[in-house]
Amino acid sequence: MLRGRWRHVPAGLLLGLVFCMVSGCGLENPSPAEGPGAEGGAGEPADSLARAPSQQQSALGSSVAPGLRVERSFRKVVIDAGHGGDDLGAPGVSGSFEKNITLEISRLTRLALQERGFEVISTRTTDEAVLLERRTSLANASGAGLFVSIHANSAPSPSAHGIETYFMDQASDEAAQRLAERENRAGMATGHAAPARDDVGALIADLRVGATAQLSRELADTVHKALVGGLASFYGADRIRDRGVRSAPFWVLVDSEIPAILVEVGYLTHEKEEERVRTRGFQLQVADSIAASLDMFAQRAERSESRASGAGGGLQ
């Protein structure tokens, strides 16, 4: 899906292009109201996401109206708790379900980010099903600058374990492709539809994904390094397996107009890792690591944005 011509464009220039594309390049229009699910405190329900599908379409839509400017901020983040409702996600060896683990880690991450001064939008705050495309639409329409989807993994082999972080692109390997297919099939099983594309829409989407891909990769690198480092310090480096940063065509990331990543915090099919992932200490450490890394990334991105009119380069 991603065309190779965008891979080597300097991140500074990409950042300017991304914000030009998604904000209307300075067109003078009223800013939209705060997106649904915006939270100033812990535990507030994302009311619009609990509505009937027809009402969700009205509240979230697929994008903002043409020509309207979306004021984006790197200090405004969308946190997505994977799965929910009838979509249980990966089953754990002890009977746990991914949907519950991701919801709690997302809640703790929201609190950790709010303590750092971020405005946080949650795609869900209860055990409810939210369409994959609605999650991305919420992020695009909200004015957020970053999107993080939190998941837990599974594998046929009970020995598979470790932490992985993904950004949107062609699959980096067969394992990444299989994981994306499994996540996307789970969406289909609970009533999600594959993203529709016409020729023009596909071209625009390709340009948008290409322009945000490098920033998403840098976001994935930043968050992954903090996650692995934080958990290794907490548990010991020999107990945390770093499975690296990878790419895969996850539907929840496909239409994102902002830097977006998907984090797999561990394997629920690995007995010891599932036991660890379910603990309060692990979940707090994951939340703190994600919050700290997003804070670091936001500061660097804001500096790069202010220099975007100059020579290109990576985030400073």
Q: How far apart are CA 107 and CA 223, in angstroms?
A: 17
State pLDDT tens for residues 148-178: 999 999 999 999 999 999 998 777 677 777 7
For residue 186, what pLDDT is reported?
63
**17 in a domain, yes or no?**
no
**39 in a domain, yes or no?**
no
Q: How many of the other CB atoms lie within 10 Å of CB of 312?
A: 15
**163 in a domain, yes or no?**
yes
**10 in a domain, yes or no?**
no
Q: How far apart are CA 188 and CA 294, in angstroms?
A: 31
Helix locations, 173-198, DSSP H: 174-189
Inter-residue contact 264 to 252 (CB < 8 Å): no
Q: Which domain holds residue 283?
A: 69-306
**114 in a domain, yes or no?**
yes
Q: Answer whether residue 54 shows pLDDT above 50.
A: no
For residue 30, what pLDDT is reported?
32
pTM above 0.75, yes or no: no
**23 in a domain, yes or no?**
no
**8 in a domain, yes or no?**
no
Instruction: Identify the burial level of 307 via C-beta atoms within 10 angstroms of its C-beta, where 0-12 means exposed, 13-18 middle and 19 or more buried.
Output: middle
Mean pLDDT of 92-121: 98
Q: What is the CATH number of the domain that holds 260?
A: 3.40.630.40
Q: How far apart are CA 272 and CA 279, in angstroms?
A: 11
**298 in a domain, yes or no?**
yes
Q: What is the mean pLDDT of the chain?
A: 77
For residue 140, what pLDDT is reported?
93
Based on the structure, what is the number of domains in the chain? Answer: 1
Inter-residue contact 137 to 61 (CB < 8 Å): yes
